[in-house]
Amino acid sequence: MTVSILLVEDDKPIADNVMLALARENMGCRHTTLAAEGLALLATGKFDLAILDVGLPDGNGFDVCRTLRGFSDIPVIFLTARSDEIDRVVGLEIGADDYVLKPFSPRELAARVKTILRRSRNGAVSANATAATALIKVDDERARIVCLGQPLDLSRTEYLMLKAMAARPEKVFSRAELMDAAGLAEASLERSVDTHIKALRAKVAAAAPDSDLIRTHRGLGYSLARDGA
């Protein structure tokens, strides 16, 4: 399997070490130091995953990710020296799959890349799985989910989480199971699941105001009701 990674990082020693670690895992990597050039490269559709530094000379990785999500759902990993939890949550909310703090092990980063790509390509839920709820329908071919006939505007992570729950209505999914379904790395914050579920609730409620589809099971996780009653 040929894998192509885009690395947007302005620190050359870090970039060199990351590219070396990826090459050792037989993954190709293109490197650029600028946000604008990174977006132009990503727009070609030739990459399987993007690794974005948060702080860049001509912008930041968050803005790159926001723009990227307008035309692509490829996995994204952020690299940053920022340790504040709010920054990690923001990164995950705008569609990132993982968040790696500097300094980090390039070999560990390469392992995370492999894990995310494997989950992204194989999918935690069978590609033929369909929703068994009255209000939610999964359209696998178009990679979208419809609520009461209205397509939901979902991030990649939200789509995968809701798809997993829709495939097994009434099942209580733990946060770890939902992280796995969405292809989030084990080191990601479990609290980020709550953030994604909150966003999902708001989007489902906008399409079906009278429904109560996503249920919270305190201390256990979340489930999707069959009919929203």
Per-residue confidence (pLDDT) for residue 118, from 0 to 100:
82
Across 17-31, 126-140, 210-224, least confident range = 126-140
* Residue 174 pLDDT exceeds 60: yes
Please report, as a single letter, which amino acid is at residue 44.
T
69 close to 57: Cβ distance less than 8 angstroms: no
- Helix (H), strand (E), coil (C) string for the chain: CCCEEEEECCCHHHHHHHHHHHHHCCCEEEEECCHHHHHHHHCCCCCCEEEEECEECCEEHHHHHHHHCCCCCCCEEEEECCCCHHHHHHHHHCCCCEEEECCCCHHHHHHHHHHHHHHHHHCCCCCCCCCCCCCEEEECCCCEEEECCEECCCCHHHHHHHHHHHHCCCCCECHHHHHHHCCCCCCCCCHHHHHHHHHHHHHHHHHCCCCCCEEEECCCEEEECCCCC
The CATH number corresponding to 4-122 among 3.30.2020.30, 3.40.50.2300, 3.30.1280.10, 3.40.50.300 equals 3.40.50.2300
Indicate the pLDDT class of residue 141, thresholds 50, 70 and 90. Answer: confident
Greater confidence, 93 or 225?
Answer: 225
pLDDT mean over 112-136:
64
What phi, psi does 217 have (nearest 5°)?
A: -115, 100
Across 43-57, 91-105, 129-143, 199-213, least confident range = 129-143
* Residue 125 pLDDT exceeds 80: no
pLDDT mean over 171-183:
87
pLDDT > 90 in the chain, percent: 42
**Nearest alpha carbon to residue 146 among 155, 159, 137:** 137
pLDDT > 70 in the chain, percent: 87
The CA distances from residue 213 to 94, 140, 158, 166, 171, in Å, are: 23, 20, 15, 10, 12
Average pLDDT of the chain is 85
* Residue 126 pLDDT exceeds 50: no
Across 34-38, 107-111, 177-181, least confident range = 177-181
Tokens of 177: 């199971």
| CATH class of the 136-224 domain in this structure | mainly alpha
Per-residue confidence (pLDDT) for residue 84, from 0 to 100:
66
* Residue 124 pLDDT exceeds 60: no
pLDDT mean over 155-181:
88
Tokens of 114: 């492999």
Specify the residue for token string 């050359």. Answer: 12
- The pLDDT tens digits of the residues spanning 49-105 come to 999 999 999 999 999 998 998 888 889 999 988 766 666 677 777 878 888 889 999
Does a cis peptide bond (omega within 30 degrees of 0) precede residue 103? yes
What is the C-alpha radius of gyration for the chain, rounded to an integer number of angstroms? 18
Q: In the chain, where are the structural domains located?
A: 4-122, 136-224
